[in-house]
Each structure stands twice: as C-alpha cells, then as structure tokens.
Amino acid sequence: MTALAARATSAPFLNPDRLFPAEPSVRAIARRLYERVKDLPLISPHGHTDPRWYAENQHFPDPATLFVVPDHYVFRMLYSQGIRLEDLGVPRRDGGPVETDGRAIWRLFASNYHLFRGTPTRMWLDHAFSTLFGIDELLCAGNADATYDTIAKALQTDAFRPRAMFERFNIEAIATTESPLDELKWHKMIRESGWTGRVVTAYRPDPVVDPDFEGFAANLEKFGELTGEDTLSWSGYLAAHRKRRDFFKSFGATSTDHGHPTARTADLSPTEAQALFDRVKGGEASAQDAELFRAQMLTEMARMSLDDGLVMQIHPGAVRNHNGGIFARHGRDMGADVPSATEYVHALKPLLDRFGNERDLTIILFTLDETSYSRELAPLAGHYPALRLGPAWWFFDSPEGMRRFRELTTETAGFYNTVGFNDDTRAFPSIPARHDVSRRVDCAFLATLVSQHRLGEDEAHEVAHDLAYKLAKTAYKL
C-alpha cells in the first residue's frame, strides 16, 4: 500500500474541518456557523455553464467531457506543463483533429493530477469525485481507468442528467452568460419544456461594444438585423441595445456583464458620442478611440440599467487572449486571460458623477488586481449607493483569495456592500464545491471575529446566512 493510499484509509478523504481555523476553540465556532449554512440553496448569478445542458437534459457523454474539456481551470494548468490542448479534446476553431477518446483524455489528466496540489481546482475536483461519485481515493495514473469507469457508469443513469444534478445540488437559480447576438434558443427550449429549474441568461454585450472584438463590424450588422434598428447610427445603435436587453429580460435576465480591459468610463456629449461612434463603426478607430468608446458604453449601460432595472457587472483588468497562438487555434476563454494592474478611482469617476448616487442602480465591481481591494474598491463601495463588490472572480475564487478579500474590504465596506459568492464556473459539478469552499472560508473569518470579541456569535450566524445566500439573491434580484 502506498503512503497516499494508507492516508486515505486512515482519515476521511474530505476532512470535515478543512479550511477551518487550527485553534480548537475558534474551529468550534466555525463548525457551528457552517452547520447552519452548509445546506442553504445555491444562488449562482455569474456563471458560464452551457444552457444547452439544461435544455436537452442529455447524459454527459463521458467523464472527460464533464470535467476536463470545458474547464479552463483544468486544462490551463495542464497546458502550462506542455500538454497540448488538442490532446485534452479542446476543440479547434478550424475543426482540426483533437483527441475524442474520453478515456485517453482522462488517463492523461489523471497521470498529471499531481499538478493541482495546493490549488482550489484540486479542492473542487476532490469534492465532486467524493460527494457525487463516492470516489474516496486520490486520482492518479494507477486508478485512472477505475475512476473513469465509476464516473462513466453513473453518468448513464437518470440521476446524473443535468436537471437531476441541478436539483440535487439544491440550485435555486443559475445565470448563464450570452452575447446580444445569441437567439437564446436553449433558454426558449427550457421555458417551453415546463421544467421548473430556474436558469436565466445575462446580457454580455462585448461583441458589439468592444471595437477590438473579432468581427466587430459584422457583429454590428447582425445586431441591426436582429433588432430592426439602424445600428450604423448612434441613436439606432443605442435603441438596439435597449431592445435586446428587453429580449434578454423576457428570458429571466436580471443582470448585464461587461468584461473590459480597463475600468475607464466616460460621459461624452451626444455630439461627441456620435462622432466617436462614426469613427468606430467605420473601422477607423485608433486604440485611443476604442478605449474611449468602451468607456462611454459603460456609462450608457449604466443609464439603461437605471431605466430597465438590470444589475450591472463590471469586471475589468484582464489582458484577454494573451497567448496569440492558442487564440488562433482554439479561440476565446482558453485560460490565457492574464490580470493586469487596474485603476478604479479616476476611471469610474465620470460614471459615478452621473449615476453613483442613484439608490435604484446596482453596479457590481470585480477585480483581478487584489492591490485595489483596500485602496480603491472598498472605499468606493463603502460610499457610493450604486456600488457593490463582487467578492470572488476567477483567480480569486480560492480559499486564500476569499480570505484576503474579507480581510482587506470588511473594515471599510463592511459585509453588506458585497454581494455574496459569485462562482465563475464552467464545469457543472464544481458548483457545489465552490460554494462549499466560500461558506467554509466565510465561517472561518467570522469565527475569528467572534473569538476576538468583535462580533457576537448570534450576529455571526446572521452574517454567515447573508453571505451564503441572501446577499447574492438580493443584489441580483433573484
């Protein structure tokens, strides 16, 4: 028996005290807090799961398609160690050959599972393997086929269809994210099926807002075709957005989502905005024009949110598609978006001057730049009624990232200027694992406050409930 195997037989594979404080009395407080929130329904307002899963409710074909192929958290780590994305089954833009044998992909994944030691991805995967499939030993090359067979067998049962897992996970609501050019046919199919699971869309206008987005000019043309508006005029372009936002709302949308390179906003006069749009639509925009247009559109989107009630999410600071070769072969969202330093105080001021004091507007700010937590984001959200902080996104939906967020923002913004946990998930089985990590980390943080006599335990129970459930539900109007 290997040392790892011996450890697996002598202690629970998922230790019930994971992520709790080491000091026994504080750990006991964390346990009590967690016990009351661990089974609360899941609100998943910022996700990227495929609505087709819920629409067609088909069996997932194999373990690799469920855990590896769609999840950049998994394949980006493997790629960093020299494993080709094609060998992991990640589709190519040109339709070129990739590995299609799920077992071969799984064996490659399992033999490199050690690469995930110490990462949040490892925690999510172990949680899913254990709680969903009863696998209570560490994945490795030696058990790759056995674990594959266990998962594959389960996936062929009705209990592991997407809708059944949705209900098993106790998901109250989940948002997917679609382009304004999407016809939302899968959401239409969900609605017409009569299934009661709440899957809503979110309006992500980047393809027709970012002049640097591939195919921008063609996207504007299609935008006009979908809406019947003249999207080559400034007024028609704005009217098209309003129409599509209303269309998305008809399929349950409660939010918009904006992934810009920076947090810059602008508040141009109508004449200036028209002139800028004329340069952008004609393909004559400079880099400065493109940035100014994105900045102006954040302010325009805030104006529309004030009118139609959609919650606005801004998550700037990612250098998108940093690996040009991977982008050319495989497209977007391949794990090559890299954080950059992001400034908020001056960047957001034009928008906040216009709308920051609006009590009926909710703008949720995310960041990939942790240095901005206490210096900029917490003071802004701790003042402006329109602002809230999204506490976890991408690189920071990890135990350490969550803890640092609470430590750096609570003293200035408190708990109630944040919006609970936002899971940027793509692999469906990781949803409950991510929420569990968040609930454990928050309970550990609250237990520390209680032990230091900075918060009563009765208050901590209420805060734990709000962080796990109420804040996200309220902020996203779900």
Q: Torsions phi, psi of 418, nearest 5?
A: -115, 170
Query: For residue 337, what pLDDT is reported?
Result: 87
Fold classification of 61-158 is uronate isomerase, domain 2, chain A (1.10.2020)
Taking each helix axis from N to C end, the angle separating 430-451 and 24-37, rounded to the nearest 10 degrees, works out to 130
| Cβ-based neighbours of 429, under 8 Å, separated by 6 or more | 66, 67, 128, 132, 165
CA distances for 403 relative to 169, 395, 440, angstroms: 24, 13, 10
Q: Tell me the C-alpha distance between 235 and 221, whole Å.
A: 15
Residue 388 phi, psi (nearest 5):
-135, 160
Helix, strand, coil % (nearest 5) of the chain? 55, 5, 40
* Residues 113-143 pLDDT 10s: 999 999 999 999 999 999 999 999 999 999 9
> How much is the pTM?
0.94
| CA 197 vs CA 38, 55, 168, 334: distances in Å | 21, 10, 11, 29
Query: Cα(444)–Cα(32) distance, rounded to whole angstroms?
Result: 10
Give pLDDT, residue 132. Answer: 95
pLDDT at 320: 87
Q: Average pLDDT for residues 177-194, to the nearest whole number?
A: 97
For the stretch 29-63, pLDDT in tens is 999 999 999 999 999 999 889 999 999 999 999 99
Strand partners, 132: none
> What are 329-361's pLDDT values in tens digits?
999 889 888 889 999 999 999 999 999 999 999
Q: How confident is the model at residue 395 (pLDDT cuts 50, 70, 90)?
A: confident
Q: Which whole-number Å values give the CA distances from 145 to 134, 158, 188, 306, in the listed order?
A: 15, 22, 38, 54
pLDDT for residue 289: 97
Mean pLDDT of the chain: 94
| pLDDT for the residue 11 | 46
Sign (positive or negative) of CA dihedral 439, 440, 445, 451: positive
pLDDT tens-digit series, residues 241-273: 999 999 999 999 999 999 999 999 999 999 999
Which 3 state secondary structure label does DSSP give 319? strand
Residue 18 has pLDDT above 60, yes or no: yes
Give pLDDT, residue 2: 45
Q: Between 131 and 5, where is the model more confident?
A: 131
C-alpha distances in angstroms, 414 versus 75, 276, 376, 431? 36, 40, 14, 26
High-pLDDT (> 90) share of the chain, %? 88
Q: Which residues in the chain are classed under CATH 1.10.2020.10?
A: 61-158
Asked if residue 393 has pLDDT above 80, the reply is: no
Does the pLDDT at position 1 exceed 70?
Answer: no
6 falls in which pLDDT band (50, 70, 90)?
very low
Confidence of residue 162 (pLDDT cuts 50, 70, 90): very high
Which regions of the chain carry the CATH code 3.20.20.140? 3-60+159-475
Q: What are phi and psi for residue 178, nearest 5 degrees?
A: -130, 155
Evaluate if residue 8 carries a pLDDT over 70: no
Tell me the per-residue pLDDT of 206-226, one tens digit each, with 9 for 90 and over. Answer: 999 999 998 999 999 999 999
pLDDT at 392: 66
Written as one string, the DSSP assignment of 80-113 is: HTT--TGGGTPPPTT-------HHHHHHHHHHTG
Whole-angstrom Cα distance, residue 305 to residue 24? Answer: 48
Section 309-320 average pLDDT: 94
Residue 9 has a pLDDT of 38
Give yes or no for residue 5 having a pLDDT over 60: no
**CATH of region 3-60+159-475, choose from 3.40.309.10, 3.20.20.140, 1.10.3720.10, 3.40.50.300:** 3.20.20.140
User: pLDDT value at position 115?
Assistant: 97
Tens of pLDDT, residues 353-391: 999 999 999 999 999 999 999 999 999 999 999 999 998
Q: Is it the case that residue 283 has pLDDT exceeding 80?
A: no
| Amino acid letter, 141 | A
Residue 239: enclosing H or E segment and its boundaries?
helix 234-249
Within 10 angstroms of residue 24's Cβ, the number of other Cβ atoms is 7
Alpha-carbon span 22 to 33, nearest angstrom: 16
pLDDT at 12: 64
Residue 149 has pLDDT above 90, yes or no: yes
